[in-house]
């Protein structure tokens, strides 16, 4: 059903004499048919075509690093950040550094979180935020969590500030924005690992490298949201500011930025979520904390404890997300005159009282300061028992599924993609580009994949493409129907959207836990994780698109005597199409990221190579691969946008 709507919408340029789309497709077919007699140079890029990009980048980095002495600058910045990290590390988990006051008792942190939650969003948020920290303490994961949080606490403000300043500069100087936009596009489609390698080159490994890579990774959404917010400030608000005699500085600081507050805070929310996702992944470059623990446990296949850590990360993600969203949505309210200071600052007073109580109780009863190993309530063993029971019980099913997918879906698709001459793929992509957006789009598609051909990673890239394709098709095959089903009733749609929303806050790493549990470490697990991750935006945007159709249109369809099916086919799906395409787009992007992350459970694609580049700190190779992944994503993005806009 879903697929059938797509071709309808793609424009078919009607030129009876000569249609480049078909001509290009025919050429691609011809290349495939002529495969046996095709010269090698048309099968795979000839060696002379492959540019030594990695060497060039390495030379450039060596020059930057050593000859230009950039390393001294980066080291100095890193040292500053390390100093800050030591302060938060001392306060949160008692690392022996200045100011040597920590660690804070866990009960105090939990109470603070609860008060903050209450202030931002009432009792439910208080329970969520407080409960999260109680769980963490009781499960005996306090130290790892605090290691993770101590980095976020430093990284998030830096990226917010950096993003804000950059966005204001881009807003102010048109030229800067023109340069910035493509950089942001590429940065946002680069996989996480691509960021890590240059950081390792310049900073090294460990917490400070983790913090810096986190800052860099989480800046782009902040810039985007701030720019959006500044653009959205109503014209008349600005004019009223001008007529009040504001200088341009006053206009920026007292009119534009405060009025754009909500969008900027949504940016802050995204920064926090990106930080969490990255901090977890930064375990690959020696960042201690929850991510590292999870990685070790997953590699050792300790399912019970992985699940516990997974729950912690999820709780943390949801709590951080809900609290920062509540902050963004918070609207100012007035106090009736004559209300005292104490009433107006009730939460603050309660917090202060609780602090005193928390510190006092922790001093008397050590349990409330720190939950020792023996006291933790870890339930890993029973979980392991239950899980292994479940796994054994459904083993025939998973076994069969694994066999079926590998033998009949994954390997055939992969082999077919690899069997195609690269010239045929390029020509076919050009045909696709021409079909959606004329010669310009054809050139864009050709350009992006042409880079992959000359980068020398064609086969690896095809494996990435195949994983993404299979995963997105599988995700769409159940995601679209599910979305359509959920969109039928308002209440149901709301519930499913809430679920999707929550699932989207999970760091990508989390999705690996259940699939590894079920399928072990192989291709099926990778595809499974990608499918799960990719299905969420598809379902979400399908629902949002369908629910977003104006009521009047549906009433008009009903009054024209349309059945429910007709109304869906002729009114709701066409009107929801652009939104659904946004979902498909996001789904593809997410899949790409996930495929790369999943590399550590053994794939043969670009991600695997990137892991290798990371462990040998080969920055040239890492960036070449990163661009390859980014360009796959950007090409898909371009094609889908074109389709949605026509």
The residue within the footprint of other proteins, chosen from 36, 175, 332, 396 (CB under 8 A), is: 332
Backbone angles phi, psi at 333, to 5 degrees: -130, 155
The residue within the footprint of other proteins, chosen from 30, 33, 179, 244 (CB under 8 A), is: 244
The residue within the footprint of other proteins, chosen from 4, 15, 333, 393 (CB under 8 A), is: 333
User: Chain centroid to CA 4: how far?
Assistant: 29
Distance from C-alpha of 456 to C-alpha of 631, rounded to nearest angstrom: 14
The residue within the footprint of other proteins, chosen from 4, 17, 96, 335 (CB under 8 A), is: 335
Q: Smallest gap, in angstroms, from Cβ of residue 236 to other proteins? A: 4
The residue within the footprint of other proteins, chosen from 141, 166, 226, 259 (CB under 8 A), is: 259
* Structural tokens at position 362: 């922790």
Q: Which is nearer to other proteins, 100 or 172 (CB)?
A: 172
Distance from C-alpha of 152 to C-alpha of 324, rounded to nearest angstrom: 14
Distance from C-alpha of 582 to C-alpha of 480, rounded to nearest angstrom: 13
Considering the rule CB under 8 A, would residue 232 count as an interface residue with other proteins? no
DSSP H/E element including 326: helix 303-329
Distance from C-alpha of 232 to C-alpha of 226, rounded to nearest angstrom: 10
Backbone angles phi, psi at 247, to 5 degrees: -80, 170
The residue within the footprint of other proteins, chosen from 4, 96, 247, 393 (CB under 8 A), is: 247
B/e letters for 308-326, b = 16+ CB within 10 Å, e = fewer, are: bbbbbbbbbbbbbbbbbbb
3 state SS for 219-251: HHHHHHHHHHHHHHCCHHHHHHHHHCCCCHHHH
* Structural tokens at position 450: 């042409």
Is residue 282 a contact partner of residue 196, using CB atoms and an 8 Å limit? yes
The residue within the footprint of other proteins, chosen from 174, 334, 396, 552 (CB under 8 A), is: 334
Site mask, other proteins, residues 292-331, x = CB under 8 A?
---------------------------------------x
Q: Which is nearer to other proteins, 243 or 490 (CB)?
A: 243
Considering the rule CB under 8 A, would residue 340 count as an interface residue with other proteins? no
Q: Which is nearer to other proteins, 253 or 407 (CB)?
A: 253
Distance from C-alpha of 152 to C-alpha of 209, rounded to nearest angstrom: 13
The residue within the footprint of other proteins, chosen from 6, 34, 237, 349 (CB under 8 A), is: 237
Considering the rule CB under 8 A, would residue 242 count as an interface residue with other proteins? yes
* Structural tokens at position 79: 């040292």
Q: Smallest gap, in angstroms, from Cβ of residue 343 to other proteins? A: 14
Considering the rule CB under 8 A, would residue 243 count as an interface residue with other proteins? yes
Residues in contact with 340: Cβ distance below 8 Å, sequence separation at least 6, in sequence order? none
Total of residues contacting other proteins (CB under 8 A): 24
Considering the rule CB under 8 A, would residue 255 count as an interface residue with other proteins? yes
Q: Which is nearer to other proteins, 342 or 491 (CB)?
A: 342
Distance from C-alpha of 641 to C-alpha of 643, rounded to nearest angstrom: 5
User: Chain centroid to CA 67: how far?
Assistant: 36
Coil, strand or helix at 591? helix
The residue within the footprint of other proteins, chosen from 172, 261, 345, 494 (CB under 8 A), is: 261
Among the residue ranges 102-110, 156-164, 231-239, 447-455, the one whose residues contact other proteins (CB under 8 A): 231-239
Q: Smallest gap, in angstroms, from Cβ of residue 625 to other proteins? A: 45
Considering the rule CB under 8 A, would residue 226 count as an interface residue with other proteins? no
The residue within the footprint of other proteins, chosen from 12, 240, 372, 407 (CB under 8 A), is: 240
Q: Which is nearer to other proteins, 99 or 245 (CB)?
A: 245
Q: Which is nearer to other proteins, 237 or 385 (CB)?
A: 237
Considering the rule CB under 8 A, would residue 338 count as an interface residue with other proteins? no
Q: Smallest gap, in angstroms, from Cβ of residue 241 to other proteins? A: 8
Q: Smallest gap, in angstroms, from Cβ of residue 229 to other proteins? A: 12
Q: Smallest gap, in angstroms, from Cβ of residue 332 to other proteins? A: 5
Is residue 405 a contact partner of residue 467, using CB atoms and an 8 Å limit? no
B/e letters for 112-126, b = 16+ CB within 10 Å, e = fewer, are: bbbbbbbbbbeeebb
With tokens 């930057």, the residue in question is 64
C-alpha R_g of the chain: 27
Q: Smallest gap, in angstroms, from Cβ of residue 256 to other proteins? A: 10
Coil, strand or helix at 311? helix
Residues near other proteins (CB under 8 A) are 234, 236-237, 239-247, 250, 254-255, 258-259, 261, 331-335, 337
């Amino acid at each position: 059903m879903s697929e059938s709507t797509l071709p309808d919408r793609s424009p078919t340029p009607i030129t009876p004499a000569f249609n480049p789309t078909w001509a290009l497709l025919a050429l691609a077919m011809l290349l495939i048919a002529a495969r046996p007699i095709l010269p090698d140079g048309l099968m795979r890029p000839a060696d002379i075509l492959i540019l030594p990009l990695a060497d060039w980048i390495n030379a450039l980095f060596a020059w930057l690093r050593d000859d230009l002495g950039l390393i001294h600058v980066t080291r100095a910045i890193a040292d500053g950040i390390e100093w800050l990290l030591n302060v938060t590390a001392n306060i949160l988990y008692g690392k022996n550094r200045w100011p040597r006051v920590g660690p804070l008792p866990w009960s105090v942190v939990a109470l603070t979180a609860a008060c903050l939650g209450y202030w931002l969003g009432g009792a439910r948020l208080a329970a969520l935020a407080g409960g999260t920290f109680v769980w963490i303490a009781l499960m005996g994961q306090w130290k790892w969590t605090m290691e993770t949080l101590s980095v976020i606490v430093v990284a998030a403000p830096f990226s917010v500030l950096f993003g804000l300043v950059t966005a204001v500069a881009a807003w102010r100087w048109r030229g800067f924005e023109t340069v910035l936009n493509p950089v942001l596009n590429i940065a946002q489609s680069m996989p996480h690992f691509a960021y890590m390698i240059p950081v390792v080159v310049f900073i090294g490994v460990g917490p400070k490298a983790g913090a810096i890579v986190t800052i860099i990774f989480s800046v782009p959404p902040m810039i985007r949201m701030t720019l959006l917010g500044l653009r959205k400030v109503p014209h008349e608000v600005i004019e009223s500011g001008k007529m009040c005699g504001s200088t341009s500085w006053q206009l920026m600081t007292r009119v534009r930025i405060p009025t754009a507050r909500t969008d900027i805070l949504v940016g802050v929310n995204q920064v926090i979520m990106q930080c969490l996702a990255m901090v977890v992944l930064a375990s690959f470059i020696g960042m201690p904390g929850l991510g590292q623990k999870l990685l070790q446990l997953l590699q050792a296949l300790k399912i019970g404890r992985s699940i516990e850590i997974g729950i912690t990360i999820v709780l943390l993600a949801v709590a951080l997300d809900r609290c920062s969203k509540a902050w963004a949505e918070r609207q100012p309210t007035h106090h009736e005159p004559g209300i005292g200071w104490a009433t107006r600052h009730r939460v603050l007073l309660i917090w202060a009282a609780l602090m005193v109580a928390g510190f006092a109780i922790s001093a008397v009863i050590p349990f409330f300061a720190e939950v020792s190993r023996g006291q933790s309530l870890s339930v890993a063993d029973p979980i392991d028992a239950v899980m292994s029971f479940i796994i054994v019980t459904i083993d025939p099913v998973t076994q069969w599924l694994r066999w079926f997918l590998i033998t009949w879906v994954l390997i055939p698709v992969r082999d077919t993609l690899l069997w195609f001459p690269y010239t045929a793929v390029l020509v076919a992509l050009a045909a696709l580009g021409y079909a959606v957006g004329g010669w310009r789009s054809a050139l864009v598609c050709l350009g992006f994949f042409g880079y992959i051909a000359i980068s020398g990673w064609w086969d690896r890239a095809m494996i990435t493409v195949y994983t993404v394709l299979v995963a997105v098709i599988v995700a769409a095959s159940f995601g679209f129907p599910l979305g359509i089903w959920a969109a039928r009733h308002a209440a149901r749609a709301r519930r499913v959207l809430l679920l999707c929303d929550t699932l989207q806050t999970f760091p990508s790493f989390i999705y690996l836990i259940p699939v590894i549990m079920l399928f072990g470490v192989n291709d099926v697990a990778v595809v499974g994780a990608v499918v799960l991750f990719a299905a969420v935006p598809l379902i979400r945007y399908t629902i949002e698109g369908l629910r977003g159709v104006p009521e009047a249109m549906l009433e008009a369809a009903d009054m024209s005597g349309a059945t429910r099916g007709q109304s869906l086919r002729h009114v709701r799906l066409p009107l929801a199409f652009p939104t659904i395409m946004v979902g498909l787009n996001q789904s593809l992007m997410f899949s790409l990221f996930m495929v790369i992350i999943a590399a550590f459970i053994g794939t043969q694609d670009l991600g695997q190579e990137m892991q290798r580049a990371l462990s040998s700190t080969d920055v040239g190779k890492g960036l070449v691969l990163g661009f390859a992944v980014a360009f796959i994503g950007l090409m898909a993005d371009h094609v889908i946008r074109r389709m949605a806009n026509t």
